Amino acid sequence: MTGYKEFHRRSIDDRTGFWREQAALIDWQTPASKVCDFSNPPFAKWFAGGRTNLCHNAVDRHAAQRPDAPALIYISTETGQERTYSFAELKREVERTAAMLRGLGVGRGDRVLIYMPMIAEAAFAMLACVRIGAIHSVVFGGFAAGSLATRIDDARPKVMVTADAGMRGGKAVPYKHLVDEACRLAQNPPERVVIVDRGIDVGFPRVDGRDLDYATLRAHHLNAEVPCEWLESSEPSYILYTSGTTGKPKGVQRDTGGYAVALAASMKHIYCGHEGETMFSTSDIGWVVGHSYIIYGPLIAGMATIMFEGTPIKPDAGIWWSIVEKYKVSVMFSAPTAIRVLKKHPAELIHKYDLSSLRSLYLAGEPLDQPTHEWIMGELERPVIDHYWQTETGWPMLSAMPGVEQTRIKFGSPSFPVYGYDLRIFREDGSEAGANEKGVVGVLPPLPPGCLSTVWGDDKRFVSTYFTLFKDPQVYSSFDWGIRDEDGYYFILGRTDDVINVAGHRLGTREIEEAVQGHSAIAEVAVVGVNDALKGQLPIAFAVLKDASKGETAEQRAALEAEVMKTVDGLLGAIARPGRVHFVSGLPKTRSGKMLRRSIQALAEGRDPGDLTTIDDPTTLQQIKTALGG
């Protein structure tokens, strides 16, 4: 068996040969004429000329060979519903949804926005889009109307698919009023809104001529047969928005063929998932993990995939492990924050279940601290693999690869660069850093298959955002600090920009600042990410009032803080709510007017704020300290 180092070296030195072999893991209607077209750097076109379809590879080919094998397992501890769809049943539901979309005028290249809870119909909608060549844009169901509206205007969807409500912790989260408000705010609202009525938000309002009932449409297409649309490999499959350092989210554009190959290869070499087994990813379809490792990756590999609506502690903190036992889960994927939550509960809730089917647990989304890594690996008594990747890459950048070689797990480290990634640590002058030297995690292009092909509708932003950190060499910047130790293991140290990681969810501090300033009393604000033992990072806001007299008393400040948080909830959603809003009379800036966010963050974390010789008004730092309680 080829070892990791040789496997990785070949993926860089012989990209054509290596990726041609991986391409054989999926079905092609037409094979590629060229494995990688890198004639226009940094844009890479993988498997140019090849024609394939994501839905065919995820559903149809398995439905033909193993029609009765389980494909999608839907579990909701919120509603008590549980259902398993075979590959044949999944194919029928996807064809019905595809027929519904085509009946509404959706065709190849059209966009469909999906704003849904973790229900089976969301999976049907995603797979139906790629089946007919439409481009889906899934928006996390927790986002508020303003955030939804910005994504509508960028993607310009012809149709939106939504639900009356989601459920979280036993409480209903109504969606329809958010959809209506987003459509009112958007300049380019969808022509039709298809609604899955779960009976949770009883009597929700409907807009005549626009809103359609999912069940009624489905009933008209029960016997639909909708063939797959074969797409050229570089045609887009979906748009997924991720936070940036400006207030405008970036639409990560994913291709079709490269993504399918990357996921198929990752299921073999990284996750070691086999046909007929079950994978349980605890994420949400609104995030990249939900796209890659709830919907597409496991199904492409012929595995059953679990779609879970609920929390890790309801009805108790053993719920996930009961699912592992019941469905004989072999591969599990979660986030460090969830494990830190479970760590607060009795370990007996892990041990009471038969976990013999589980080979490995994979964790990603934020840096994994050593104590949490040691605890969960000790309790499970099986490998817990920390790995690192981004919305932009679509699949892992750093990971152990047990399908290639069993390497030692080092606590707190996501191990080594994954095949296809010429990943290195760079000093700020563009030179390569040495062992144990902090630098920026970067990748020499071309990026491997499956990574973003561009920013939706904005090639210039793709280049200016990701490829201008250094001029020579041209490098994809991850915007994360990292080090590589003397054994070649990598460690991620945190962001270099103004994006923070809250419980595995990326949030732009500028977006939160704009939301805070949506309150009429706020003149200026700085938001920083502060280390948090449970969530990894937590946004903290420091705000200047337009009228200082309105924040003189503790009662006034408490009332204003509550109002500001409510404003953020309304504009971005509760996920972006600051942990605290501190009121100050001024914010530390340089003489040229640049906000000293790094210094504010350091003070909030009890660290040295660093060199402050450029500060315009030193008293503002004391105000930050006072607001923090000294």
Q: What is the pTM of this model?
A: 0.85
* pLDDT at residue 428, as a whole number: 82
pLDDT at 502: 81
Q: Give Rg (Cα) of the chain.
A: 24
All residues at 6 or more sequence positions from 549 whose CB lies less than 8 Å from its CB, including other chains: none
Alpha helices by DSSP H, 388-508: 459-466
What would the mean pLDDT of 98-108 be, rounded to a whole number? 98
Q: So what's the pLDDT on residue 512?
A: 86
Residue 607 pLDDT class (50, 70, 90 cuts): confident
H/E stretch holding 289 reads helix 288-290
Characterize the bridge pairing of strands 422-426 and 439-444. Answer: antiparallel
pLDDT tens for 107-134 read 999 999 999 999 999 999 999 999 999 9
Residue 628 makes CB contacts below 8 A (sequence gap 6+) with 582, 603, 604
Tell me which amino acid residue 3 is: G
| Omega before residue 42 within 30° of 0, cis | yes
Question: For 364-391, what is the mean pLDDT?
Answer: 92
**Nearest 5°: phi and psi at 603?**
-65, -40
Token pair of 138 as six digits: 């899934």
| DSSP code string of 9-34 | HHHHHTHHHHHHHHHTTS--SB--SE
- Better-scored residue on pLDDT, 541 or 589: 541
CB 624 within 8 A of CB 584: yes
Does residue 564 contact residue 583 with C-beta atoms inside 8 Å?
Answer: no
Give the Cα separation of 157 and 151 in Å (integer): 9
- pLDDT tens track for 81-97: 999 999 999 999 999 99
Q: Which residues contact 21 (CB under 8 A, 6 or more apart)?
A: none
User: What are the helix (H) ranges across 486-607?
Assistant: 509-516, 554-571, 597-604
CB proximity list for 441: less than 8 A, separation 6 or greater: 397, 423, 425, 426, 478, 480, 481, 482, 490, 492
166 has a pLDDT exceeding 60: yes
Residue 404 or 622, more confident? 404
Per-residue pLDDT tens digits for 314-345: 999 999 999 999 999 999 999 988 898 898 89
Task: Give residue for tokens 């500001």.
Answer: 564
Alpha helices in 335-489 (DSSP H): 336-343, 348-351, 370-380, 459-466
pLDDT above 60: residue 1:
no
* Amino acid at residue number 422: D
What kind and span of H or E run contains 233?
A: none
**Contact yes or no for 522/546 (Cβ under 8 A):** yes
Of 472, 449, 447, which is closest to residue 462 (Cα–Cα)?
A: 447
* Degrees to nearest 5, angle at CA 490 with 484 and 491: 100
d(CA 608, CA 604): 10
CA–CA gap between residue 441 and residue 425 (Å, rounded) = 5
Domain 499-627, CATH among 3.30.230.10, 3.40.50.1450, 3.30.300.30, 3.30.1360.20: 3.30.300.30
400: amino acid identity, one letter: A
Could you give the CA distance from residue 384 to residue 361 in angstroms, rounded to a whole number?
5
Residue 287's Cβ-count burial label (10 Å; 0-12, 13-18, 19+) is buried
Provide the 8-state DSSP code for 302: T
Confidence of residue 575 (pLDDT cuts 50, 70, 90): confident
For residues 600 and 623, give the distance between their C-alpha atoms in angstroms, rounded to a whole number.
11
Beta bridge partners, 278, equal: 304, 329
